[in-house]
Chains A and B, each alone.
Chain A
């Protein structure tokens, strides 16, 4: 049974990676939010699985916290945001998705190499997934770099946090509860502040295209 659940954790890791790639190559903002919610759900599921196998009860709490925050509250906020900003059906022009994905693959190989020595030290049952967690982190980072609009960037930021949380669960069975609470609060506040920022950006430039921020540069 435990063996099966370990495999299940690996499967969840693969799904998280897959969703990270899907987010990297998704043009529609609405679908992006759905994908993000799905990724949050998978992270929750894998945390529950790790908690079940290792009997670490505090992981159940952090899973519940993540569920509330990443799967309900933040997606709800994002939905409200895109409705009020009226960018619900926005499509971003992404250049050359295969190239972005190719770079993504290089990142995966790189992070695997990075995680290898760490994973050897770790005693966690899910240590194999550490490389995937790092890869997801880097992929989300890259998503933030390649996007030109503000909302997808915020989603990239949030999915980066997902990856970090997943990394913490898989490598060391999660961070202390206090730290986790703190991070959760940080993310929430971050989203709120970024939301406010987005309104400001729109007020200023009549667009959410952050390339307009270049105009702020003094010549």
Chain B
């Protein structure tokens, strides 16, 4: 199977190379190469699907340095993530075929090359089985995405965002490299197989865990390393944002799972608590910021931070159970995590793609200038609604299932040997419920302000719906959101081998026992959820009501102007703005935010109101660090004198010093 997977990845790289060959032939790139990439993604998804339940397969690719080939391994964990990369990538590629327009910035062929290299490197990250291959793939992923983010590099903000992204990605990469250094435990063997053999002391295992947490956390957008995310994701073109938010962040989750559950054999309880606390803080932070955003792509980027937080919390819970040897419960928590990985990949990609279509139709990212688009872009609007429901965790869509599984795994904690933790964890569950409810608020704001109400600007009335390619891509992703929501047992069958590999237990047996339509992770008495019946119940009740009303009464509808409360006129400006909709949250969570407000004086004839919302972390963490570094650099800068003889003197002193060292 692994040969097929490698072939598929090679095909992606091939498409990228073809893109270089057809550098400026826009039609060819858009209509042939991108759909081809989508098809390859589909093939990858199928290959991964068939590889999921199989035993691990190993391949050695003789690329790179002599004596240092790429070790690759396809096991259930990597197959699951390949499935996500392939399936989400397919939809996004098809969308991209219709999305990219001719214009300024990177030529289309180069964009196509970077895009497919990005996809291929993500797949390679997941397949890598030694530190060398992993780091090569990881770095090429970071670089490819960096160039994609800065596709429109003429804009200074985008350049800044790209720089920040690259910087944090590299600080993270250093931590990952160090983590591998700790994991190989002086054996000099950098293959993952070698690392699995090592048994580390608790101290070194903790060091490896913390380094992995830092490194992968930086990529995932964990607090306080999240600052690049809301800058870089909105800056990129929409399909790239979708790929980064929906898929790339998941590779960091993959890395964390790989290190915690595969490479490390020791599990300490405080690791789980750390992850839980960090995840919760990240989720809460992300969702509060998402509700107060006024830029639609930034809102989604913050919502990604929230989802990453939930994933981290689930992993933390899994680690906690694992450290106490409660493997069945660890499997439940990890199933929740992996399910959410899948569901977030699809709904967030869908939402980002939708913002891309809106952006094309209106060339407007600011929520304050949008509105009423459901009438002019019905396809995009209704498909986005599916994503919005999934994202707010409403049954029977995919987001709810993962939320449900996560809450279930939290409620199982009374069984931990530590009473303090027993008491602590239900509180976390309550806070997760709060996060989920706030996500609903953010999503109602997102959808309501863009698609509902009256258009806030005149030119929105000429907005056009998305083209066939874009529709097809979004349809594919929306179908996944619905399918995952309605048939969770099917997905759990796929997740089962993965958790079995990580903690030795899986949920498939119980899931199969209760029938395909009922999700009951432990037993029906304990908890159950039947999404199909749920949907049928709502549909039946609604349709019955509809038919009865029609039958007994009548279907007359009169159209008229909306009720204006006696005002002489009503304008679209009277609707809630994005700021207005987020205002209650801003008021409640004011300590979270750094507010800068300019209020107009009452006598002002042209009043101007301005609010700038900032992140405390910039002020408290990043600015001091950057100031420190600047100071150090200035000190080092004194060495620079501009005279050749002084530079020669530096070399001379260095030479003398080296000779002195050699002599000793």
Any A CB within 8 A of the CB of B423: yes
| Contacting residues, chain A, for B427 (C-beta < 8 A) | 105, 109
The answer to whether B419 and A116 touch across the interface, beta carbons within 8 angstroms, is: yes
Q: What number of A residues sit within 8 Å (CB to CB) of B?
A: 5
What are 11 of the A-B contact pairs (CB < 8 Å)?
A: A105-B427, A109-B420, A109-B423, A109-B424, A109-B427, A112-B419, A112-B420, A112-B423, A113-B420, A116-B419, A116-B420
Q: Which residues between 406 and 442 of chain B lie within 8 Å of chain A, taking CB atoms? A: 419-420, 423-424, 427
* Chain B minimum-CB-distance residue to A110: B420
* Chain B minimum-CB-distance residue to A108: B423
Distance to closest chain A CB from B168 (angstroms): 31
Q: Which residues between 170 and 208 of chain A lie within 8 Å of chain B, taking CB atoms? A: none
| Contacting residues, chain B, for A109 (C-beta < 8 A) | 420, 423-424, 427
A40 CA to B255 CA, complexed, in Å: 57
Distance to closest chain B CB from A138 (angstroms): 16
Distance to closest chain A CB from B445 (angstroms): 22
Q: Which residues between 107 and 157 of chain A lie within 8 Å of chain B, taking CB atoms? A: 109, 112-113, 116
Q: What number of B residues sit within 8 Å (CB to CB) of A?
A: 5
Mask of A79-115 contacts with B, CB within 8 angstroms, 1/0: 0000000000000000000000000010001001100
* Chain B minimum-CB-distance residue to A112: B423
| Contacting residues, chain B, for A116 (C-beta < 8 A) | 419-420
Distance to closest chain B CB from A174 (angstroms): 27
If over half of B's interface residues share one DSSP class (helix, strand or loop), that class is named, otherwise mixed; here it is: helix
Distance to closest chain B CB from A193 (angstroms): 39
If over half of A's interface residues share one DSSP class (helix, strand or loop), that class is named, otherwise mixed; here it is: helix
* Chain A minimum-CB-distance residue to B424: A109
Mask of B570-610 contacts with A, CB within 8 angstroms, 1/0: 00000000000000000000000000000000000000000
A116 CA to B427 CA, complexed, in Å: 19
The 7 closest A-B pairs by CB, nearest first: A113-B420, A112-B423, A116-B419, A109-B423, A109-B424, A116-B420, A105-B427
Distance to closest chain A CB from B588 (angstroms): 8
| Contacting residues, chain B, for A105 (C-beta < 8 A) | 427
Distance to closest chain B CB from A97 (angstroms): 12
Distance to closest chain A CB from B525 (angstroms): 25
A27 CA to B428 CA, complexed, in Å: 29
Distance to closest chain B CB from A111 (angstroms): 11
A105 CA to B428 CA, complexed, in Å: 13
Q: Which residues between 7 and 65 of chain A lie within 8 Å of chain B, taking CB atoms? A: none
A113 CA to B420 CA, complexed, in Å: 6
Q: Which residues between 122 and 163 of chain B lie within 8 Å of chain A, taking CB atoms? A: none
Mask of B365-396 contacts with A, CB within 8 angstroms, 1/0: 00000000000000000000000000000000
| Contacting residues, chain B, for A112 (C-beta < 8 A) | 419-420, 423
A109 CA to B420 CA, complexed, in Å: 8
- Not counting A109-B423, A113-B420, a sample of 9 additional A-B residue pairs whose C-beta atoms are within 8 angstroms of each other reads A105-B427, A109-B420, A109-B424, A109-B427, A112-B419, A112-B420, A112-B423, A116-B419, A116-B420
| Contacting residues, chain A, for B423 (C-beta < 8 A) | 109, 112
A105 CA to B426 CA, complexed, in Å: 13
* Chain A minimum-CB-distance residue to B588: A98
A116 CA to B421 CA, complexed, in Å: 13
Distance to closest chain A CB from B42 (angstroms): 49
Distance to closest chain A CB from B265 (angstroms): 30
Q: Which residues between 66 and 87 of chain A lie within 8 Å of chain B, taking CB atoms? A: none
| Contacting residues, chain A, for B419 (C-beta < 8 A) | 112, 116
A189 CA to B420 CA, complexed, in Å: 40
* Chain A minimum-CB-distance residue to B590: A96
Distance to closest chain A CB from B418 (angstroms): 10
A105 CA to B423 CA, complexed, in Å: 11
Distance to closest chain A CB from B584 (angstroms): 14
Q: Which residues between 270 and 326 of chain B lie within 8 Å of chain A, taking CB atoms? A: none
A113 CA to B424 CA, complexed, in Å: 11
A116 CA to B419 CA, complexed, in Å: 9
Distance to closest chain B CB from A112 (angstroms): 6
| Contacting residues, chain A, for B420 (C-beta < 8 A) | 109, 112-113, 116
A29 CA to B238 CA, complexed, in Å: 58
A105 CA to B427 CA, complexed, in Å: 10
* Chain B minimum-CB-distance residue to A105: B427
* Chain B minimum-CB-distance residue to A98: B588
| Contacting residues, chain B, for A113 (C-beta < 8 A) | 420
Q: Which residues between 18 and 59 of chain B lie within 8 Å of chain A, taking CB atoms? A: none
A113 CA to B422 CA, complexed, in Å: 11
A132 CA to B427 CA, complexed, in Å: 17
Distance to closest chain B CB from A109 (angstroms): 6
